[in-house]
Structure 1
């Protein structure tokens, strides 16, 4: 179960505040997924835009449910001015707003959504435990049960996305030296299009990528589980390829058996960070 980045140390004191808080959290999630949908559509990923559209629609339904509840309780819309403190770190796009779109897929999107709903569930269980009245405790428990139901639904969607991805996957094992050579070629192409200063910097990064390729051809790092979730069927662009290499090198830097191998992977990771900074 995903946990909050912080433990709530205050409680809600009125139904108006609880419903306003629930409204704000659901609205934040709906807006977050809508923004991700717009980005994916702009980046040429209508498949993922559709996934985030579905998630945004679900969250807007949750917003409507809270609004209806508020009308039943007080006869009015949730009033966010009733919230006496700032809640944060419940909704998290986990880098989906900045990561190269080529590295995203439906399974990863639904996994993010599952973790967001799990955090919301944990949040409301904290609120129930700290509720000063039975009415507020029962209301917070109702919200927690709702979020747990969302978790179950999204986990089913995630399983379907996993099997769909697994069936459609056509990727074979990546060769590390080939990946670095591909990055080098893309950097050279970008260098030819840039200014003299930019071109010189990118050509130096391409040279470093070829050196890593040569090192990896002589002594590969091994297999990385991170490659199993890499979307198939589309070539990786320069930024996406660099991000993928960085993630794998960081993973190797933590788990390879010898210190010498870990240091080598960490050195490659540092170089990938510099490369990614230059091309973004």
Structure 2
């Protein structure tokens, strides 16, 4: 399971309209294009041709992001004139291509095309997570559909880039004479256990809530009332030294773990069916996590 989240901070700013949504998407695409362009330029050295394959990858990535910029501008141009321009709050922008990742790769004498493609996959995975959060927070159907479209496009891009990464990985492993299909199993088998623990903690949480808040929790978590009642009847008391305040924190922590597991599994998938299942689970898990966080925060105010 990944040690750090894909996003440095999860989106908490509710996008208010399509103009703002496209403004955010445009800034993100422009920043990515600029970052990839700088990387390609930094790897241009007439005296050192070993980094030429890596430079070519970043040139390709820059061109892809430039195409994305043009596409987003086209979509924004279809909005009514008064809705086409929007100021983007700085807090709403997530850097999808962190400079630290690029700097580490540029400074390494052992950088490879596989590492470059891996950065691009993480970039589009971050976009998928970001826009899934935006869709989860959206109250306007039109806005939610637009955010879901951007999330779905990010998934498609990640799939294409993942294939390039896999080809680069195979080429590297073949050059070293090692197995290119080594995999680390076990994540999905433990996800079922975490899902069970999450369900039990949600049932514990529901027991201390008033009916209106209990219904909101059920809606946030996607748990049916009948299932909750059955689980609640079998729950033991809180562990020694535990307090009711710990329960919401465990709920969010388990939801975070599951999101990370499903994202990791989609990254390791080797066939289309496995990939689609993991991506569906990841999308649902991200939306659930966003709702549970929002619900927990609402109870604190």
The TM-score range, normalised by the shorter chain, is 0.5 to 0.7
Partner of 1:150: 157
**Is the partner of 2:101 in helix, strand or coil?**
coil
**Does the 8 Å contact 1:70/1:76 carry over to 2?**
no
Partner of 2:94: 88
How do residues 75-224 of structure 1 correspond to structure 2 at under 5 angstroms? 79=85, 82-86=87-91, 87-99=93-105, 100-169=107-176
**Does the 8 Å contact 1:90/1:120 carry over to 2?**
yes
**Does the 8 Å contact 1:23/1:78 carry over to 2?**
no
**Is the partner of 1:103 in helix, strand or coil?**
coil
**Superposed CA offset, 1:88-121 (max 9, x none):** 3422244332443422100011111111110110
Partner of 2:20: 17
**How many residue pairs are counted as aligned between the two chains?**
170
1:30 to 24, 30, 33: 33
- Evaluate the alpha carbon distance shift between residue 85 and residue 131 of structure 1 in structure 2; reply closer, same or farther with a 3 A threshold: farther
**Is the partner of 1:9 in helix, strand or coil?**
coil
Question: Rg larger in 1 or in 2?
Answer: 1
1:8 to 7, 11, 32: 11
**Superposed CA offset, 1:46-66 (max 9, x none):** 221111000111111111110
**Superposed CA offset, 1:230-261 (max 9, x none):** xxxxxxxxxxxxxxxxxxxxxxxxxxxxxxxx
Structure 1: which 5+ residue stretches go unaligned?
A: 172-280
Distance in 1, Cα, partners of 2:12 & 2:19: 19
**Does the 8 Å contact 2:7/2:94 carry over to 1?**
no
Residue 84 of structure 1: how far off its partner (Å): 2.6
**Superposed CA offset, 1:117-163 (max 9, x none):** 10110000000011121110011001001101111000001011111
TM-score, L = length of structure 1:
0.56
- Evaluate the alpha carbon distance shift between residue 160 and residue 24 of structure 1 in structure 2; reply closer, same or farther with a 3 A threshold: same
Distance in 2, Cα, partners of 1:153 & 1:21: 23
Structure 2: which 5+ residue stretches go unaligned?
A: 179-301
- Evaluate the alpha carbon distance shift between residue 78 and residue 25 of structure 1 in structure 2; reply closer, same or farther with a 3 A threshold: farther
**Is the partner of 1:41 in helix, strand or coil?**
coil
**Does the 8 Å contact 1:51/1:106 carry over to 2?**
yes
- Evaluate the alpha carbon distance shift between residue 78 and residue 152 of structure 1 in structure 2; reply closer, same or farther with a 3 A threshold: farther
Distance in 2, Cα, partners of 1:26 & 1:66: 9
Partner of 1:49: 55
- Evaluate the alpha carbon distance shift between residue 54 and residue 170 of structure 1 in structure 2; reply closer, same or farther with a 3 A threshold: same
- Evaluate the alpha carbon distance shift between residue 98 and residue 3 of structure 1 in structure 2; reply closer, same or farther with a 3 A threshold: closer
Distance in 2, Cα, partners of 1:14 & 1:113: 28
TM-score, L = length of structure 2:
0.52
- Evaluate the alpha carbon distance shift between residue 157 and residue 133 of structure 1 in structure 2; reply closer, same or farther with a 3 A threshold: same
- Evaluate the alpha carbon distance shift between residue 30 and residue 78 of structure 1 in structure 2; reply closer, same or farther with a 3 A threshold: farther
**Is the partner of 2:14 in helix, strand or coil?**
coil
